[in-house]
Structure 1
Amino acid sequence: MALRCVGLLLRNEMGGLASITASRNISTSQVHHKVLENSPNAYLDKSILNRYKKLDIPHDKIQATYLWIDGTGEGIRLKDRVLDSVPKKPSDLPKWQYDGSSTYQATGGNSDTLLIPRAIYRDPFKPGKNDVIVMCDTYQADGKPTPTNHRCDMQEAVDKVLESHEPWFGIEQEYTLLDMDGRPLGWPSSGFPAPQGPYYCGVGADRVVGRDLVEAHGIACLYAGIDFAGTNAEVMPAQWEYQVGPSLGMKVADDLWVSRYILHRIAEDFGVVVTFDPKPVVGQWNGAGAHTNFSTKAMRAENGIEAIKAAIEKLSKQQEKHIRAYDPKEGKDNIRRLVGRLETSSISEFSWGIADRGVSVRIPRGVADAKKGYLEDRRPSSNCDPYSVCNALLRTCLVE
């Protein structure tokens, strides 16, 4: 099946621009072969690892993969340790340290940075049934949170409102699959596919790229214990979305970070790169967001629409604060995406509406009809820190 190429501008993962003007037909098999050529991980024989996974490990030994967020606010780091007992709760796990000077979080002369376990998940990559993934937050040598540790702030807000308001969150995580050259997966090497239109929730080899990877991710997340709600192909080819939640309190943010790690790990096996860049391709292509659904006990109750509108009124007065909280670069990434078109609002103006995807905050049609439910904040970028996003919503709508 051939893909029609058109001349546009491509913004690669490093921020560069390449002018592409050639127009010719390239088969998807040629494209796939090129992807594999440039991806060392895709050439590795996975059956070799599977041979060792079948070995019996002593029953009193488990493997724990500690995850944390690095100093960029976007990168996930990890390392494994072997434990002598099965942890039932995060406090059963030992605290640990790592070299913060290698993760943009400390200097070489005082580099030990503390990991504190906060949430436990089953590990879909290790062979033992008790092996775990451990989501951690990070602390400097003086005991203060690292600058990119936004989890502790969200936890403080949740503790204040959990019992009285029962906040629920659901996040729609969009992302794009790339080849090793930084081009969206399956796109012709010297051009672009046909314009947006047939790809959203599409089916067919000429419309969808990477479904096997996407479905493997969903299965692995369900195994891990993530509140994984579903997935769909998005508006741009090679762009996908999955949903996490709805979950009470802290869980959705922990789940989202762990689900991102699982996605990156599965992509390693396929020899594919995952990007959460909010605008990976310049031009008339949709960007990528992390639309965040938020509700409280009052919003979910009869006539909860009034509580929803009251929250929107509070949000309308804090546009700048939320834009800063909604991407790791305090708006500098999102400014490429929130342009007032392509299903986005303007980054500089707050707006809301019913069933309108071009606003800052949307009330879904079903919510408006039922007069209760939730609101959808459409401003967070795909590379947002969910701790920072959820914390901002909690503090604006419930705490401050």
Structure 2
Amino acid sequence: MAQILAPSTQWQLRTKLTSMSSSPITPKMWSSILLKQNKKGAVKSSSKYRVLSVKSVGGTINRMEDLLNLDVTPYTDKIIAEYIWIGGSGIDLRSKSRTISKPVEHPSELPKWNYDGSSTGQAPGEDSEVILYPQAIFKDPFRGGNNILVICDAYTPAGVPIPTNKRHRAAEIFSNKKVVDEIPWYGIEQEYTLLQTNVKWPLGWPVGAYPGPQGPYYCGVGADKSFGRDISDAHYKACLYAGINISGTNGEVMPGQWEYQVGPSVGIEAGDHIWCSRYILERITEQAGVVLSLDPKPIEGDWNGAGCHTNYSTKSMREEGGFEVIKKAILNLSLRHKDHISAYGEGNERRLTGKHETASINTFSWGVANRGCSIRVGRDTEKQGKGYLEDRRPASNMDPYVVTSLLAETTILWEPTLEAEALAAQKLSLKV
């Protein structure tokens, strides 16, 4: 009688893994395979070691992922709070974690904390303690559960805001009764560029060379047009989970460049949401092994720069007759053009050249549906006689606390002299 030999357990296991190589193997699937083999009693081993990882075509899955995804909620009331602040450059983000005894709903329930300011360029070594004040809370999309992200601003031990704390001044402006009554809305369009890690060259670009000219990439679809969509989509969902008021996303004109929009947000909330969304994006690109750049002109030449267009309206602008209020606001903005430009991001002069959908940094202009102006007014706003304006001058690396509060200050609180107002009205052809 012929002897029928059954395949070995190892061969069966290898076959299962090979057949599933077209899709990622999760830790749960790996555990299921091992469990089935152990139940059959086919595998006998005296080894005390457990399998830590398995390599497949799709990548490496290891037990650390189980711990990273571990839900501790059933076992403790404690949560992890990730305190986030802005570093010494005014654009770099820093964070560290601490355990909180129970879930919280408001920043006032969280303790103040401190950090070594001499290591972030924000304090001298002989007096390096900087105090973090919790200001806004978001759900943590990385740890899940009741864990939170905490946006903080920074103060000296005496309670004085440090120079890089732009939130403090913004909060003062947004708490002014005139500003509060106008309920300022913001919709911020954050553009960013994804770079390859080692060469700092845009994602999807041939190293040391250039792709085809701009044209097919804006909102493009396809492997030769869209580079980094998974990062954009992951960021989109993570922001929604966190409670950030993200309203959309799209591929940008330069390949490897993306944009997402946050808003409408009211007052100081706009800055909190943009900073938290940037932190989440930094964390996602960190995990993806891609470098995030907010440089306003990452590639010189015939390529679009990266901006942070800021859509803005007040209650008066949104009501009947609002177009006249918008034109008065534009007049004020024209008179403080230099003040705004100086606060709208480092390196912005490389972007605001009058080309690639920008106005010249030295000249203030406005127009209806004109993307080559400093201030753009939409066709719907003109038609309806009310709505909003778009400030196209801010760079991608701007501080949203500065830009949003400066817009409110210039258009609501600041009053030009009659002579300056008349001269500006004549120059801009504004019928006010």
Q: Does 1:230 align with 2:271?
A: no
Alignment map for 1:118-133 (pairs within 5 Å) = 118-127=135-144, 129-133=145-149
Q: Aligned partner of 2:124: which letter? A: T
Q: Does 1:146 align with 2:162?
A: yes
For residues 370 and 274 of structure 1, what CA distance do their matches in structure 2 show?
A: 39
TM-score of the aligned structures, taking structure 1 as reference length: 0.86
1:365: which partner in 2?
379
Contact kept, 8 Å, 1:231 with 1:242, in 2: the verdict is yes
For residues 47 and 314 of structure 1, what CA distance do their matches in structure 2 show?
A: 59
Contact kept, 8 Å, 1:71 with 1:105, in 2: the verdict is yes
Q: How big is the shift at 1:47?
A: 5.8
CA deviation digits over 1:103-132, x for unaligned, max 9? 1100110000010000000000014x2100
CA deviation digits over 1:295-319, x for unaligned, max 9? 0000000121111111000000001
CA deviation digits over 1:251-310, x for unaligned, max 9? 111000000000011111111111000000000000000000110000000121111111
Q: Does 1:283 align with 2:272?
A: no
| Partner SS for 2:181 | helix
For residues 50 and 278 of structure 1, what CA distance do their matches in structure 2 show?
A: 39
1:336: which partner in 2?
350
What number of residue pairs does the alignment pair up?
354
2:363: which partner in 1?
349
For residues 47 and 105 of structure 1, what CA distance do their matches in structure 2 show?
A: 39
Decide whether aligned partners of structure 1 residues 97 and 234 sit closer, same or farther in structure 2, where only a CA change above 3 A counts: same
Runs of 4+ aligned structure 1 residues displaced above 6 Å come to none
Q: How big is the shift at 1:239?
A: 0.3
Alignment map for 1:15-94 (pairs within 5 Å) = 48-54=64-70, 56=72, 58-94=75-111
Q: How big is the shift at 1:363?
A: 0.2
| Partner SS for 2:175 | helix
Q: How big is the shift at 1:56?
A: 3.2
CA deviation digits over 1:10-48, x for unaligned, max 9? xxxxxxxxxxxxxxxxxxxxxxxxxxxxxxxx9885762
Q: Does 1:98 align with 2:115?
A: yes
Q: How big is the shift at 1:368?
A: 1.3
Q: How big is the shift at 1:54?
A: 2.3
Q: Does 1:391 align with 2:405?
A: yes
Q: Does 1:205 align with 2:230?
A: no
Alignment map for 1:183-194 (pairs within 5 Å) = 183-194=201-212
For residues 334 and 88 of structure 2, what CA distance do their matches in structure 1 show?
A: 30
> Which of 259, 275, 285 does residue 257 from structure 1 map onto?
275
Q: How big is the shift at 1:59?
A: 2.4
For residues 162 and 83 of structure 1, what CA distance do their matches in structure 2 show?
A: 35
Larger RCO (CA under 8 A, 6+ residues apart): 1
Q: How big is the shift at 1:52?
A: 4.3
Contact kept, 8 Å, 2:231 with 2:285, in 1: the verdict is yes
For residues 196 and 265 of structure 1, what CA distance do their matches in structure 2 show?
A: 29
Contact kept, 8 Å, 2:116 with 2:130, in 1: the verdict is yes
1:195: which partner in 2?
213
Q: Aligned partner of 2:381: which letter? A: V
Q: How big is the shift at 1:51?
A: 3.6
Q: Aligned partner of 2:219: which letter? A: C
For residues 294 and 277 of structure 2, what CA distance do their matches in structure 1 show?
A: 13
Contact kept, 8 Å, 2:311 with 2:390, in 1: the verdict is yes
> Which of 134, 157, 175 does residue 150 from structure 2 map onto?
134
Q: How big is the shift at 1:197?
A: 0.5
| Largest Rg, 1 or 2 | 2
Report the aligned-residue RMSD.
1.5
Q: How big is the shift at 1:349?
A: 1.0
Q: How big is the shift at 1:369?
A: 1.5
Contact kept, 8 Å, 2:68 with 2:143, in 1: the verdict is no
Ranges in structure 2 where 5+ consecutive residues have no aligned partner: 1-57, 415-432
| Partner SS for 1:392 | helix
For residues 373 and 160 of structure 2, what CA distance do their matches in structure 1 show?
A: 37
Identity of aligned residues (%): 52
1:320: which partner in 2?
338
Contact kept, 8 Å, 1:110 with 1:141, in 2: the verdict is no
